[in-house]
């Protein structure tokens, strides 16, 4: 037999013996924050994890659509989402499975599904990041963004994906659909700068092209850690004094998971207080929802150091999410 054929058969043999994953995780938390934890889980358990991450421009939405498309033939076992509304939407669509997690039961009641379909932890806050080396005003309440002097100096992401989509879906739940759309129409008519994502507008502030932006605490932390002259304003989004919108990570076992036992084991591992503490002390500055877990440096504890917006129903937000996405896309994609 020619040597070239022997080499080919040898290569095919190696490929054929490649070990299949013990667990497939779809993850929309930034890869540089989630992957070290996933690899630690592998080392501790000996299970091989195939982790597949979303890209910044499709944050969360891309993986959600993939999960829905694969419902009849699930390929993934777990969805680790960097927000909550889309995870609840998956439950409402029958795409998640119940899992009674012992570690999940240690979360506050508001951060776990009573039927065990999802658990929420390690939140980001929706905040204003502003330059500290300028006298320019920055908004302390959501509606102040529309004031002409404020709008000319600030920016936010288009509400089409990620936490910005979730944020304005929450606004529609709080104020009503028409009021939220009117807010966005007035914003489009203003001098506000629109970015492709939270990281995009954060960079514009860091580089001095804007004086402030509406973003998440993890993106704000990147700018602060890079040494830019910036700080965080805890943005009041409800009636005066109502508070800051927290958007937690969430995790769920997917319906029909090919590896349900490994999926349950991974969910239990991620929901440990130690993981929430790790994320809090990491560069992403995820804010713990457990009161006993120390908060990130400089960010404080929700409910004690800053008020938290809670006068809305996450289930209703999730149920309306697809319609709100369509509404917002009609305004912004022309």
What domains can you pick out in the chain, each with its CATH number?
Answer: 3-123+248-299 (3.40.190.10), 124-245+322-332 (3.40.190.10)
Contact 178, 139 (CB under 8 A): no
**What tens digit of pLDDT does each residue of 160-195 get?**
988 999 999 999 999 999 999 999 999 999 999 999
**What tens digit of pLDDT does each residue of 226-272 get?**
999 999 999 999 776 789 999 999 999 999 999 999 999 999 999 99
| Region 16-44 average pLDDT | 90
Distances (CA, A) of 147 to 151, 237, 261: 6, 15, 53
Q: Report residue 56's pLDDT band, with 50, 70 and 90 as the boundaries.
A: low
**Both structure tokens of 186:** 């007035």
User: Which spans in 53-161 are helix H?
Assistant: 61-69, 85-92, 148-151
Rounded CA-CA distance 216/123 in Å is 10
pTM comes to: 0.89
pLDDT over 70 (residue 318): yes
Share the mean pLDDT of the chain. 92
User: Which spans in the chain are helix H?
Assistant: 3-16, 31-45, 61-69, 85-92, 148-151, 162-175, 177-189, 198-206, 217-225, 260-270, 273-281, 314-332
Rounded CA-CA distance 231/250 in Å is 27
Cβ-proximal residues to 322 (8 Å cutoff; 6+ apart), any chain: 89
Distances (CA, A) of 268 to 47, 102, 235, 253, 274: 14, 7, 33, 11, 12
The better pLDDT of the pair 298, 206 is held by 206
Look at residue 19 in the predicted model and tell me its pLDDT: 76
**Both structure tokens of 161:** 């994906």
Rounded CA-CA distance 80/85 in Å is 13
Rounded CA-CA distance 43/39 in Å is 6
pLDDT over 90 (residue 43): yes
Contact 132, 300 (CB under 8 A): no
Taking the CA atoms of 264, 267, 268 and 269 in sequence, report the sign of the dihedral they define: positive
Look at residue 18 in the predicted model and tell me its pLDDT: 62
Distances (CA, A) of 285 to 55, 166, 242, 248: 20, 20, 23, 12
SS3 230: strand
HSE-CB at 330 with a 13 A cutoff on CA atoms is 7
pLDDT over 90 (residue 57): no
């Amino acid at each position: 037999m020619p040597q070239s054929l022997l080499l080919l058969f040898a290569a095919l043999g190696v490929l054929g013996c490649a070990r299949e994953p013990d667990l497939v995780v779809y993850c929309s938390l930034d890869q540089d924050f989630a992957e070290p934890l996933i690899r630690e889980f592998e080392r501790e358990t000996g299970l091989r994890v195939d982790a597949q991450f979303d890209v910044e421009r499709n944050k969360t939405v891309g993986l959600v659509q993939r999960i829905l498309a694969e419902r009849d033939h699930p390929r993934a076992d777990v969805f680790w989402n960097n927000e909550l509304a889309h995870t609840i939407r998956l439950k409402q669509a029958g795409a998640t499975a119940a899992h009674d997690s012992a570690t999940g039961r240690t979360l506050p009641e508001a951060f776990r599904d009573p039927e065990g379909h999802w658990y929420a932890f390690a939140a980001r806050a929706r905040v204003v990041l502003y330059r500290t080396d300028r006298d320019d005003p920055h908004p302390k309440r959501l509606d102040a963004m529309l004031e002409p002097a404020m709008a000319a100096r600030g920016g936010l992401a288009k509400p089409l994906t990620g936490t910005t989509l979730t944020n304005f879906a929450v606004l529609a739940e709080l104020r009503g659909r028409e009021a939220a759309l009117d807010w966005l129409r007035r914003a489009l008519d203003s001098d506000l700068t629109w970015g492709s994502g939270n990281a995009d507008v954060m960079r514009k502030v860091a580089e001095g092209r804007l004086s402030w932006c509406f973003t998440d605490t993890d993106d704000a932390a990147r700018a602060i850690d890079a040494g830019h002259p910036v700080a965080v304003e805890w943005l009041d989004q409800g009636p005066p004094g109502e508070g800051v919108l927290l958007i937690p990570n969430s995790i769920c076992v997917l319906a029909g998971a090919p590896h349900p036992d490994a999926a349950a084991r991974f969910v239990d591992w991620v929901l440990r207080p130690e993981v929430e503490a790790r994320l809090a002390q990491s560069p992403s500055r995820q804010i713990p929802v457990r009161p006993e877990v120390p908060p990130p440096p400089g960010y404080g504890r929700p409910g004690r150091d800053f008020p938290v917006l809670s006068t809305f129903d996450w289930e209703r937000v999730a149920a309306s999410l697809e319609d709100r996405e369509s509404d917002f896309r009609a305004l912004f994609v022309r």
